[in-house]
Protein backbone atom coordinates (compact mmCIF):
# COMPACT_ATOMS: atom_id res chain seq x y z
CA UNK A 1 0.00 0.00 0.00
CA UNK A 2 1.42 3.38 -0.99
CA UNK A 3 1.96 6.14 1.49
CA UNK A 4 -0.59 8.97 1.41
CA UNK A 5 0.66 12.19 -0.10
CA UNK A 6 1.80 14.56 2.63
CA UNK A 7 0.25 17.96 3.02
CA UNK A 8 2.27 21.05 3.78
CA UNK A 9 1.70 24.40 5.36
CA UNK A 10 3.17 27.84 4.97
CA UNK A 11 5.12 27.43 8.21
CA UNK A 12 7.15 24.60 6.64
CA UNK A 13 8.26 26.40 3.51
CA UNK A 14 9.49 29.81 4.66
CA UNK A 15 13.19 29.49 3.94
CA UNK A 16 16.10 31.82 4.60
CA UNK A 17 18.45 32.77 1.76
CA UNK A 18 21.03 30.23 2.96
CA UNK A 19 18.46 27.45 3.37
CA UNK A 20 17.29 28.23 -0.16
CA UNK A 21 20.84 27.82 -1.50
CA UNK A 22 21.41 24.55 0.38
CA UNK A 23 18.11 23.07 -0.79
CA UNK A 24 18.62 24.17 -4.39
CA UNK A 25 22.13 22.69 -4.43
CA UNK A 26 20.88 19.33 -3.14
CA UNK A 27 18.17 19.20 -5.81
CA UNK A 28 20.61 20.14 -8.58
CA UNK A 29 23.19 17.48 -7.64
CA UNK A 30 20.49 14.83 -7.23
CA UNK A 31 19.58 15.32 -10.90
CA UNK A 32 22.91 16.22 -12.54
CA UNK A 33 25.35 13.97 -10.62
CA UNK A 34 23.29 11.03 -9.30
CA UNK A 35 26.39 8.83 -8.92
CA UNK A 36 27.75 11.21 -6.26
CA UNK A 37 24.46 11.84 -4.48
CA UNK A 38 23.54 12.05 -1.56
CA UNK A 39 26.21 14.63 -0.70
CA UNK A 40 28.71 14.76 2.13
CA UNK A 41 28.79 18.02 4.06
CA UNK A 42 32.02 19.04 2.31
CA UNK A 43 30.57 18.32 -1.15
CA UNK A 44 27.44 20.26 -0.26
CA UNK A 45 29.46 23.29 0.87
CA UNK A 46 31.30 23.22 -2.46
CA UNK A 47 28.00 22.95 -4.34
CA UNK A 48 26.57 25.93 -2.45
CA UNK A 49 29.66 28.05 -3.13
CA UNK A 50 30.25 27.21 -6.80
CA UNK A 51 30.43 30.23 -9.08
CA UNK A 52 28.45 28.94 -12.06
CA UNK A 53 24.66 28.62 -12.05
CA UNK A 54 24.37 30.62 -8.83
CA UNK A 55 22.93 34.07 -8.17
CA UNK A 56 24.26 35.53 -5.98
CA UNK A 57 27.60 33.73 -5.60
CA UNK A 58 28.11 32.86 -1.93
CA UNK A 59 30.99 31.83 0.32
CA UNK A 60 29.34 29.78 3.05
CA UNK A 61 31.26 28.21 5.91
CA UNK A 62 30.77 24.54 6.79
CA UNK A 63 29.06 25.38 10.09
CA UNK A 64 26.65 27.72 8.31
CA UNK A 65 25.62 24.95 5.91
CA UNK A 66 25.31 22.49 8.80
CA UNK A 67 22.96 24.86 10.63
CA UNK A 68 20.86 25.33 7.46
CA UNK A 69 20.60 21.53 7.13
CA UNK A 70 19.30 21.31 10.68
CA UNK A 71 16.63 23.91 9.89
CA UNK A 72 15.68 22.15 6.65
CA UNK A 73 15.35 18.87 8.53
CA UNK A 74 12.98 20.55 10.99
CA UNK A 75 10.92 21.65 7.98
CA UNK A 76 11.04 18.10 6.51
CA UNK A 77 12.71 19.35 3.33
CA UNK A 78 16.18 17.76 3.76
CA UNK A 79 18.23 15.66 6.14
CA UNK A 80 20.71 12.79 6.52
CA UNK A 81 20.29 10.08 3.91
CA UNK A 82 18.88 6.85 5.30
CA UNK A 83 20.65 3.60 4.54
CA UNK A 84 23.74 5.25 3.05
CA UNK A 85 26.65 2.78 3.10
CA UNK A 86 29.30 5.21 4.27
CA UNK A 87 31.07 6.26 7.44
CA UNK A 88 30.59 9.88 6.39
CA UNK A 89 27.11 11.34 6.91
CA UNK A 90 25.50 12.29 3.62
CA UNK A 91 22.54 14.54 3.00
CA UNK A 92 19.56 14.52 0.66
CA UNK A 93 16.57 16.72 -0.11
CA UNK A 94 13.04 15.46 0.51
CA UNK A 95 10.99 17.70 -1.76
CA UNK A 96 9.36 14.78 -3.53
CA UNK A 97 7.96 13.39 -0.29
CA UNK A 98 6.43 16.75 0.58
CA UNK A 99 5.31 18.17 -2.78
CA UNK A 100 5.25 15.23 -5.22
CA UNK A 101 6.65 17.36 -8.05
CA UNK A 102 6.91 16.10 -11.62
CA UNK A 103 10.21 16.49 -13.50
CA UNK A 104 9.20 19.81 -15.03
CA UNK A 105 8.16 21.34 -11.74
CA UNK A 106 11.24 20.29 -9.80
CA UNK A 107 13.55 21.58 -12.54
CA UNK A 108 11.84 24.98 -12.46
CA UNK A 109 11.88 25.14 -8.66
CA UNK A 110 15.57 24.20 -8.58
CA UNK A 111 16.62 26.95 -11.00
CA UNK A 112 14.48 29.53 -9.20
CA UNK A 113 16.02 28.53 -5.86
CA UNK A 114 19.55 28.84 -7.20
CA UNK A 115 19.21 31.95 -9.38
CA UNK A 116 16.20 33.95 -8.20
CA UNK A 117 13.43 35.45 -10.38
CA UNK A 118 13.71 34.69 -14.12
CA UNK A 119 11.76 34.89 -17.35
CA UNK A 120 10.36 31.72 -18.97
CA UNK A 121 13.06 31.99 -21.64
CA UNK A 122 15.81 32.14 -19.04
CA UNK A 123 14.29 29.23 -17.15
CA UNK A 124 14.14 27.10 -20.29
CA UNK A 125 17.82 27.67 -21.06
CA UNK A 126 19.11 27.32 -17.51
CA UNK A 127 17.05 24.22 -16.71
CA UNK A 128 18.50 22.36 -19.70
CA UNK A 129 20.75 20.19 -17.50
CA UNK A 130 17.82 19.24 -15.28
CA UNK A 131 14.99 18.75 -17.77
CA UNK A 132 14.65 19.54 -21.45
CA UNK A 133 11.70 21.78 -22.20
CA UNK A 134 10.81 21.43 -25.86
CA UNK A 135 9.01 24.78 -25.98
CA UNK A 136 8.35 27.86 -23.86
CA UNK A 137 4.75 26.66 -23.51
CA UNK A 138 6.06 23.71 -21.48
CA UNK A 139 7.82 26.11 -19.11
CA UNK A 140 4.66 28.20 -18.80
CA UNK A 141 2.62 25.08 -18.07
CA UNK A 142 4.96 24.03 -15.25
CA UNK A 143 4.89 27.54 -13.80
CA UNK A 144 1.09 27.54 -13.89
CA UNK A 145 0.99 24.27 -11.96
CA UNK A 146 3.27 25.74 -9.29
CA UNK A 147 1.15 28.89 -9.07
CA UNK A 148 -2.09 26.89 -8.78
CA UNK A 149 -0.94 24.94 -5.75
CA UNK A 150 -2.52 25.69 -2.39
CA UNK A 151 -0.73 27.65 -1.11
CA UNK A 152 0.98 28.73 -4.36
CA UNK A 153 4.68 27.96 -4.78
CA UNK A 154 5.41 30.53 -7.52
CA UNK A 155 4.16 33.89 -8.74
CA UNK A 156 4.56 36.18 -11.72
CA UNK A 157 6.22 39.50 -10.91
CA UNK A 158 5.18 42.88 -12.33
CA UNK A 159 6.91 43.45 -15.65
CA UNK A 160 9.69 45.98 -15.33
CA UNK A 161 9.62 49.06 -17.57
CA UNK A 162 11.48 48.50 -20.83
CA UNK A 163 11.34 44.70 -20.63
CA UNK A 164 9.41 42.34 -22.89
CA UNK A 165 8.89 39.33 -20.59
CA UNK A 166 7.69 39.04 -17.03
CA UNK A 167 9.81 37.23 -14.46
CA UNK A 168 8.64 34.47 -12.14
CA UNK A 169 9.76 33.78 -8.57
CA UNK A 170 9.37 30.88 -6.13
CA UNK A 171 7.49 31.46 -2.88
CA UNK A 172 9.36 29.01 -0.66
CA UNK A 173 10.93 32.00 1.08
CA UNK A 174 7.63 33.83 1.43
CA UNK A 175 6.09 36.45 -0.82
CA UNK A 176 8.36 38.40 -3.17
CA UNK A 177 8.00 42.17 -3.07
CA UNK A 178 9.57 44.18 -5.88
CA UNK A 179 10.67 47.69 -4.97
CA UNK A 180 9.18 50.41 -7.14
CA UNK A 181 11.49 52.02 -9.65
CA UNK A 182 12.61 55.51 -8.80
CA UNK A 183 11.34 58.33 -11.08
CA UNK A 184 14.86 58.70 -12.49
CA UNK A 185 15.05 55.00 -13.39
CA UNK A 186 11.59 54.98 -14.92
CA UNK A 187 12.38 58.08 -16.97
CA UNK A 188 15.62 56.58 -18.25
CA UNK A 189 13.85 53.38 -19.29
CA UNK A 190 11.04 55.29 -20.95
CA UNK A 191 13.58 57.22 -23.04
CA UNK A 192 15.20 54.03 -24.28
CA UNK A 193 14.81 53.40 -28.00
CA UNK A 194 11.99 50.81 -28.44
CA UNK A 195 14.01 49.23 -31.26
CA UNK A 196 16.84 48.56 -28.79
CA UNK A 197 14.49 46.83 -26.36
CA UNK A 198 13.08 44.68 -29.15
CA UNK A 199 16.56 43.78 -30.39
CA UNK A 200 17.67 42.78 -26.89
CA UNK A 201 14.58 40.61 -26.42
CA UNK A 202 15.25 38.92 -29.77
CA UNK A 203 18.87 38.24 -28.81
CA UNK A 204 17.76 36.69 -25.51
CA UNK A 205 15.45 34.34 -27.39
CA UNK A 206 18.27 33.36 -29.76
CA UNK A 207 20.59 32.61 -26.84
CA UNK A 208 17.97 30.34 -25.28
CA UNK A 209 17.57 28.47 -28.57
CA UNK A 210 21.36 28.08 -28.89
CA UNK A 211 21.50 26.55 -25.39
CA UNK A 212 18.77 24.15 -26.43
CA UNK A 213 20.68 23.13 -29.57
CA UNK A 214 23.90 22.72 -27.56
CA UNK A 215 22.11 20.30 -25.23
CA UNK A 216 21.03 18.22 -28.21
CA UNK A 217 24.61 18.10 -29.56
CA UNK A 218 25.91 16.99 -26.14
CA UNK A 219 23.36 14.18 -26.06
CA UNK A 220 24.38 13.03 -29.54
CA UNK A 221 28.08 13.03 -28.58
CA UNK A 222 27.33 11.07 -25.42
CA UNK A 223 25.40 8.44 -27.38
CA UNK A 224 28.25 8.24 -29.91
CA UNK A 225 30.84 7.82 -27.14
CA UNK A 226 28.89 5.00 -25.52
CA UNK A 227 29.01 3.02 -28.78
CA UNK A 228 32.75 2.54 -28.21
CA UNK A 229 32.68 1.66 -24.52
- The residues spanned by each domain of the chain are 10-99, 103-226
Runs of H (alpha helix) within 57-160 = 62-74, 95-99, 103-115, 120-126, 136-147
Full-model pTM: 0.74
Q: Output 98 or 9, whichever has higher pLDDT.
A: 98
Handedness of CA 137, 142, 144, 145 (dihedral sign): positive
Q: Output 208 or 39, whichever has higher pLDDT.
A: 39
pLDDT digits (tens, 9 = 90+) for 130-186: 999 999 999 999 999 999 999 999 999 998 888 888 999 999 999 887 654 444 444
Parallel, antiparallel, or unpaired for β 154-156 and 90-93?
unpaired
Residue 51 to residue 1: CA distance in whole angstroms: 44
pLDDT of residue 222: 64
* CATH number of this structure's domain 103-226: 1.10.10.10
What are the C-alpha distances in Å from 37 to residues 33, 68, 168? 7, 18, 29
Same fold, 10-99 and 103-226: yes
* CATH number of this structure's domain 10-99: 1.10.10.10
Residue ranges of E strands in the chain: 39-40, 78-80, 90-93, 154-156, 168-170
Above pLDDT 90, what percent of the chain? 62
User: Are residues 19 and 71 in contact, defined by beta-carbon separation less than 8 angstroms?
Assistant: yes
**What is the chain's mean pLDDT, rounded?**
83
pLDDT of residue 2: 42
Q: Directed axis angle between helix 17-32 and helix 103-115, to 10°?
A: 130
Amino acid sequence: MGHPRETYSVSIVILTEIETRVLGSLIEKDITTPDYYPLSLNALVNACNQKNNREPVMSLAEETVRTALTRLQEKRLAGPASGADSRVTKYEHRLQEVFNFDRREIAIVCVLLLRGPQTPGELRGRAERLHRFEALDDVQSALQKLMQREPPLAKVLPRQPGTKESRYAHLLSGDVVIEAESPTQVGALADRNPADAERIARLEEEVVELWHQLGEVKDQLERFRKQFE
